[in-house]
Amino acid sequence: MAEGQVKPGEDNKVVGRLGVLLARAKDIFQTEGLRPLVGRGFDFVRHSLFYCAEYYLYQNTVEEINPADFMPRVVDFTFHIICNNKEADELAANTGHDFRRRFLNARKSLDKGAIAFCTLVKGEIVNICWVALSEEAKKTLYSLPQKVDFSGNEAYFGGSQTTPEYRLKGLSRYNFCRRVQFLRERGVTLMRGVVKVDKRAPQPMGPRRGAEIYARARYIRVLWWKSWKEIPLAQGGHGD
């Protein structure tokens, strides 16, 4: 291949990525307004050059759970577990909406084995969380190098989002319940995830669902250089 020549299909990937970014920008503008859109655009550029943040690392034991205790306060919703792009294509054909347009790496994540747990209202996605059962799938969801023992019946979950209109209606709790059911049937005994440390809210969402914070981590990225350090915490601790 000649120097500077674009690899076959590479231009389509770029166009597809731009399409997802534009669709996501449109969604933020319609649901949250111009100011959040501009703010996120600025954060995207800034984080591409330098990023530093601290995270709580938490884990949930996968135990038997009663779905009736987790029903959301939403009517006429449907729940879908999407394991590959073929299933995503079928869902898009049936609803007229393709949830992958709102998530930058959705197609790649599904190709690599990630699983999307989706709540839809009137055919449109209002809540989602992703699960990875392998390191390859995990890398498409989050670049943080949190240790997950996939060979030891552990799973990773992340990328949880709920549209502003449907927040505080129990959708995340219901999604959590369905993930637990799904993973328990497959022999998974532990789920691991991260939540960004927020000084204004020292109790992250994870522990509200019976999770244990087991470590605090600092992540630094300057261009291509990365640093990740995990600091174990006493059970139930949050550090400073």
Work out the pLDDT band at 105, boundaries 50, 70, 90: confident
Does 41 fall in a domain? Answer: yes
Work out the pLDDT band at 223, boundaries 50, 70, 90: confident
Does 240 fall in a domain? Answer: no
Q: Average the pLDDT over 149-167 and give the result.
A: 94
Does 55 fall in a domain? Answer: yes
Low-confidence winner among 34-43, 77-86, 147-156, 210-219 (lowest mean pLDDT): 34-43
Domain of residue 190 covers 11-232
128: which residues sit within 8 A by CB, 6+ positions away?
99, 103, 116, 117, 118, 119, 159, 160, 161, 175
Residue 49 or 158, more confident: 158
DSSP one-letter string for 63-132: ----GGGG--S-SSEEEEEE-SHHHHHHHHHHHS--GGGGSTTHHHHHHTT-EEEEEEETTEEEEEEEEE
Q: Of 140, 175, 133, 183, nearest to 156 (Cα)?
A: 133
Does 5 fall in a domain? Answer: no
Strand order in the sheet with 212-222: 77-82, 115-121, 124-132, 154-162, 190-196, 50-61, 212-222, 225-232
Q: Of 40, 39, 50, 121, nearest to 80 (Cα)?
A: 121
Sign of the torsion angle spanned by Cα atoms 232, 236, 238, 240: negative
> Taking 90 as the threshold, does the pLDDT of residue 39 lie above it?
no
Each residue's pLDDT tens digit, 114-148: 999 999 998 889 999 999 999 999 999 887 889 99
Each residue's pLDDT tens digit, 168-206: 999 999 999 999 999 999 999 999 999 888 754 444 444
Give residue 29's pLDDT.
54
Give residue 103's pLDDT.
81
Residue type, 7: K
Give the whole-angstrom CA distance, residue 63 versus residue 60: 9
CB-based contact 74:170 (threshold 8 Å):
yes
Each residue's pLDDT tens digit, 46-94: 556 778 889 999 999 998 888 888 999 998 999 999 999 999 999 999 9
CATH number at residue 25: 3.40.630
Give residue 206's pLDDT.
47
Does 6 fall in a domain? Answer: no
CA R_g for the chain: 19
Give the whole-angstrom CA distance, residue 207 versus residue 21: 32
Task: Name the DSSP class of 170.
Answer: S
Does 143 fall in a domain? Answer: yes
Each residue's pLDDT tens digit, 1-31: 433 333 444 344 444 445 545 555 566 556 6
Does 216 fall in a domain? Answer: yes
Number of independent structural domains in the chain = 1
- Rounded to two decimals, the pTM is 0.75
Does 1 fall in a domain? Answer: no
Q: Of 72, 64, 109, 65, nearest to 88 (Cα)?
A: 109
CB-based contact 44:28 (threshold 8 Å):
no
